[in-house]
């Protein structure tokens, strides 16, 4: 898909959020990915033009950040955390299983363009290890079997819901959320799952609470 005038208009809209338009570059590149599933040369040129900076300045930024891809990601981005905690607690096995199942390695996409597999770094969900992400939505506490189940469901076009978020859409939809965050899906998913509530539950069970003002220790 090419980047039409409506994308330029949206970029200009994003620029309005900042005192200095250049601050819009990161969300603008997300917007490019939301249309083209990668940061294309065309996309960088458009960002440069809109911001009145050089394509080289855009390339310097686009190549710095891991989330920007220079090849089409395809329909679904599959991330498996293989940083120490998730990896050693099972992420390595989850990744290996997915790699075998999809026939692709790190930062590669399947020939049909359905899945991009990536070993990702810590996803700030160590409590929920081993963590997988689908289009960056959480798929917590995976096993190789559960992860393959997710992939298979997606391949069949079945509905898959994030363990702490909305029903999985696709990679470009998430990229659009990153460009326009208020995507109407804030009500999807729990406020907090049992792991996030672990301490509160123990406190409730054991009758513990924080002191209120004026109350003694």
Partner 1 sequence: MTLAPETSDLISVEIDGVEMNVPKGTLIIRAAELIGTEVPRFCDHPLLSPVAACRMCLVEIEGNPKPQPACAIELTPGMKVRTQRSSEVAEKAQQGVMEFLLANHPLDCPVCDKGGECPLQNQAMSAGRAESRFDIPKRTFDKPVPINSEILLDRERCVSCARCTRFADQIAGDPKLELLERGAKQQVGVANDEPFDSYFSGNTIQICPVGALTSSSYRFRSRPFDLVSTPTTCEHCASGCSLRTDARRGEVTRRLAWHDSDVNEDWNCDKGRFAFTYLSQDRITSPMIRENGELRVASWPEALDVAARGLRSAQGSTAVLTGGRITMEDAYAYAKFARVVLGTDDIDFRARRSSSEEAAFLRSSIAGDCGPTYADLDKAPVVLLVAFEPEDESPIVLLRLRAASLRRGLRVVALSPIASRGLEKIRGEWAAIAPGADANALHALAQGGGDVPNGASIAQALRQPGAVILVGERIADVSGGPSAVAALAAATGARIGWVPRRAGERGALEAGALSGLLPGGRPLDDANARAQVAQVWGVDVADLPISAGREAAAVVSSAAAGGLGALVVGGLEPRDAAQPAAMRRALDNAGFVVSLETRRTEVTDHADVVLPVAVVTEKSGTFIDWEGRRRPFARVFGDALMMSDGRVLAMLAEAMDSSIGRGDVKSLRTELDSFGPWTGARSAVPSDSAAVVQTGGPHLVTWRLLLDEAAMQEGEPNLAGTRRRTVAVVSAATAASLGVAAGQQVTVTGPAGSVSVPVDIGSIVDNAVWLPSNAADCAIASLGVAPGQPVRVSGGAA
Partner 2 sequence: MTLTPVITAHWDRPDLYTLAGYRAVGGYTALAKALQQEPDAIITTVKETGLRGRGGAGFPTGLKWSFVPQNDGKPHYLVVNADESEPGACKDIPIMMATPHTLVEGVIISSYAIRANHAFIYIRGEVPQAVRRVAAAVREAEQAGLLGDNVLGSGFNLRVTIHSGAGAYICGEETALLDSLEGRRGQPRLKPPFPAVAGLYASPTVVNNVETICNIPFIVNNGVEWFRKFGTEKSPGFKVFAISGHVNRPGIYEAPLGVTMRELLDYAGGMRDGRPVKFWLPGGSSVPMLTAEHLDLPLTYEEMAAAGTMLGTGTPMLFDDTVSVVRAVTRWLEFYKHESCGKCTPCREGTYWITGVLERFEHGHGSEAEIDTLVDLCDQIGGRSFCALGDAAATPYPAALKYFRNEFEAGTNQAAELEFAPAASYLFSEATAR
What is the binding site for partner 1 (CB under 8 A)? 41, 44, 48, 53-60, 63-65
Non-local (6+) Cβ contacts of 167 within 8 A are: 159, 160, 161, 188
Pairing of strands 115-120, 76-81: parallel
- Could you say whether residue 29 binds partner 2 (CB under 8 A)? yes
Among 78, 98, 129, 134, binds partner 2 (CB under 8 A): 129
> Residue from 45, 99, 107, 122 that binds partner 2 (CB under 8 A)?
122
d(CA 180, CA 137): 16
Distance set, CA 90 to CA 130, 150, 181 (Å):
6, 16, 32
d(CA 172, CA 102): 20
Listed ranges 3-11, 80-88, 104-112, 153-161: which one lies at the site for partner 2 (CB under 8 A): 80-88
| Residue closer to partner 1, measured from CB, 45 or 89 | 45
Place of tokens 């810590």: 122
Does 110 participate in binding partner 2 (rule CB under 8 A)? no
Q: Which does 17 bind (CB under 5 to 8 A by kind): partner 1, partner 2, none?
A: partner 2
**Sole window of 4-12, 19-27, 104-112, 153-161 interacting with partner 2 (rule: CB under 8 A):** 19-27
Minimum Å gap between C-beta 75 and partner 2 is 16
Q: Can residue 194 be called a binding residue for partner 2 (CB under 8 A)?
A: yes
Q: Which does 167 bind (CB under 5 to 8 A by kind): partner 2, partner 1, none?
A: none
Look at residue 41 and give the partner it binds from partner 2, partner 1, none, a contact being a CB closer than 5 to 8 Å depending on partner kind. Answer: partner 1
Residues 6+ apart with CB under 8 A from 38: 69, 70, 71, 72, 73
Tokens 């330029």 correspond to 8
């Amino acid at each position: 898909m090419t980047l039409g005038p409506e994308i330029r208009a949206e970029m200009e809209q994003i620029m309005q959020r900042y005192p200095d338009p250049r601050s819009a570059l990161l969300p603008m590149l997300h917007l490019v990915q939301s249309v083209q599933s990668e940061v294309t040369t065309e996309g960088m040129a458009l960002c440069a033009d809109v911001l009145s900076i050089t394509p080289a300045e855009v390339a310097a930024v686009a190549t710095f950040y891991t989330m920007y891809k220079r090849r089409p990601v395809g329909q679904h981005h599959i991330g498996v955390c293989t940083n120490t905690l998730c990896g050693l607690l099972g992420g390595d096995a989850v990744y290996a299983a997915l790699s075998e199942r999809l026939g692709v390695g790190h930062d590669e996409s399947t020939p049909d363009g359905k899945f991009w597999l990536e070993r990702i770094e810590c996803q700030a969900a160590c409590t929920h290890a081993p963590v997988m992400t689908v289009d960056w939505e959480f798929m917590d506490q995976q096993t190789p079997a559960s992860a393959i189940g997710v992939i298979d469901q997606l391949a069949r076009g079945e509905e898959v819901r994030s363990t702490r978020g909305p029903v999985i859409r696709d990679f470009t939809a998430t990229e659009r959320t990153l460009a326009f965050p208020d995507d109407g899906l804030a009500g999807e998913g729990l406020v907090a799952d049992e792991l996030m509530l672990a301490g509160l539950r123990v406190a409730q069970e054991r009758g513990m609470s924080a002191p209120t003002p004026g109350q003694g220790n």
